[in-house]
Amino acid sequence: MQCIDGDQLYKAKCLDVDHCEQDDVWMYLIHFSGWSKIYDEWIDDNDPRLDQDRIETFFSNQGEIMRKPSPVTADRKRKVSRSSPKKGQRANAARKSKSQEEVPRAARSQEEAPRAKKAKSHEELSASHMTPLQAKKARERERFERSLERSIAELPRIKRKKRFSTEVIIPSLLIKVIQDDYELIHKQRKLIPLPHKTTVRSIIQAYVKEKNCDEGELNGIEKYFNTALGNSLLYKFERPAYADYLSSVRQEDESGSVYPRAAAEPIDLFGYPHLIRFLINFNENVTDLRAKVDEETIHIYVQKLQKLANYLSKYEGHYHQLQEYANTAPEYHRRM
């Protein structure tokens, strides 16, 4: 299938289908081919990115702007075809004609049948006024419609499976935050100075206050975040800055392999984008948790994280501030 976004067309695949009873719409979990699964997104059937009319218009526009072969190139090809064959080519042609004379006419007609069939399909293509690109896109549309019908047919089985879902659905707003964060750090070489103005602990405290839930409900999340930060949640470009902070607070009698006593915990250093990375990292490592925790406990944990993800998406405009990213010095770049 294809998914259109602006003036770009992306190859995609429908991974899951669900029905939202509240809004009475069908939802499709879309994976973009060639992109990481963190960019997977739930899209409803009213989303313009799945509008078949827009996609067909895009196909027709692409077909109109396709370049035709230049007269010079066509003339050069005709000259090459008219040129006399070489000595070896003449000998091969003679052997081929001789072998064809020895083959019975009925057998030759069977061999030529695929060629005639191919020519017929080419005539049908010309008669329908479709370019090869348009014909290819039409076949892909047909495959998408068939896969969509199969997905809807399997919906009862999918709904039974989703009762025991062990994955946090990342809202589209949070995916855009991660895209911005990746762009600013990897390509523009910017960082948020430590500690962040709005830390993970302050975000969790605000969430607990708004939801009026138990303060100890998210204690496990705080411990898991502190453990996963160094190994999984930091980009390579961020690690020297984190190491510099630890070195600045480490005492002379402390070993370099031990977390400094005077250092703040990671939840008091890092903020909003790292909390979103934590949710994505949880989905990637949930299989390892099954070996340590039973399925029901994981399901409860996923429900808590899903509520937190929805809260982060709700206040994206408040927590995601691009001006917090600062330029880094050339000396820092040379340490990479």
Token duo for residue 252: 């002379």
- The confidence score (pLDDT) of residue 308 equals 92
Q: Would you say residue 73 lies in a domain? A: no
Q: What angle do CA 174, 178, 180 make, to 5 degrees?
A: 115
Tell me whether residue 78 is in a domain. Answer: no
Looking at the domain assignment, is residue 295 inside a domain? Answer: yes
Give pLDDT tens digits for 81-128: 554 455 455 555 555 554 544 444 444 444 444 444 444 444 444 445
Domain-located, residue 15: yes
Least reliable range by pLDDT among 61-75, 124-138, 236-250? 61-75
Average pLDDT over residues 272-299: 84
**Domain match, 44 and 181 both:** no
The verdict on 200 and 56 lying in the same domain is no
80 within domain boundaries: no
- State the CATH number of the domain containing residue 290: 1.10.274.30
Q: What is the pLDDT of residues 227-248, one digit of tens each?
A: 888 778 899 999 999 999 999 9
- The strand pair at 41-44 and 190-191 is best described as unpaired
pLDDT digits (tens, 9 = 90+) for 309-323: 999 999 999 999 999
pLDDT score for 230: 77
Decide if 253 is inside a domain.
Answer: yes
Residue 271 DSSP symbol = B
Q: What is the mean pLDDT of residues 43-66?
A: 69
Q: Is the pLDDT of residue 270 over 70?
A: yes
Report the chain's mean pLDDT, rounded to a whole number. Answer: 75
Residue positions counted in the chain: 336
In the predicted structure, residue 225 carries a pLDDT above the cut 80: yes
176 plus 216 within the same structural domain:
yes
Tell me: do 183 and 321 sit in the same domain.
yes
Residues 288 and 228 in one domain: yes
- Separation of alpha carbons 259 and 246, rounded Å: 8
Phi and psi at 181, nearest 5°, equal -60, -45
Which of 29-38, 94-103, 215-224 ranks highest by mean pLDDT?
Answer: 29-38
Note whether 213 and 149 are same-domain residues.
Answer: no
Q: What is the CATH number of the domain that holds 17?
A: 2.30.30.140
pLDDT of 289 over the 60 cut: yes
**Are 153 and 33 in a shared domain?**
yes
Last-in-domain residue among 158, 191, 223: 158
Is 85 domain-assigned? no
Instruction: Looking at the structure, tell me whether residues 142 and 282 fall in a common domain.
Output: no
Burial class (CB in 10 A: 0-12, 13-18, 19+), 286: middle
CA distance 178 to 312: 12
SS3 327: strand
Q: Classify residue 23: in a domain, yes or no.
A: yes
Q: Are residues 269 and 328 in the same domain?
A: yes
Q: What does the DSSP assignment read for 273-333?
A: HHHHHHHHHHHHHHHHHTTTS-HHHHHHHHHHHHHHHHHHHHTHHHH--GGG-EE--HHHH
- Rounded distance between C-alpha atoms, residue 223 and residue 150, angstroms: 42
Task: Calculate mean pLDDT across residues 203-208.
Answer: 92
Same domain (yes/no): 213, 271: yes
Domain that holds residue 24: 2-65+134-158
Number of domain units in the chain? 2
The structure's pTM equals: 0.53
Pairing of strands 326-327, 190-191: antiparallel
Same domain, 59 and 177: no
For residues 151 and 300, membership in a common domain is answered with no
Lowest mean pLDDT among 35-44, 162-171, 266-275: 162-171
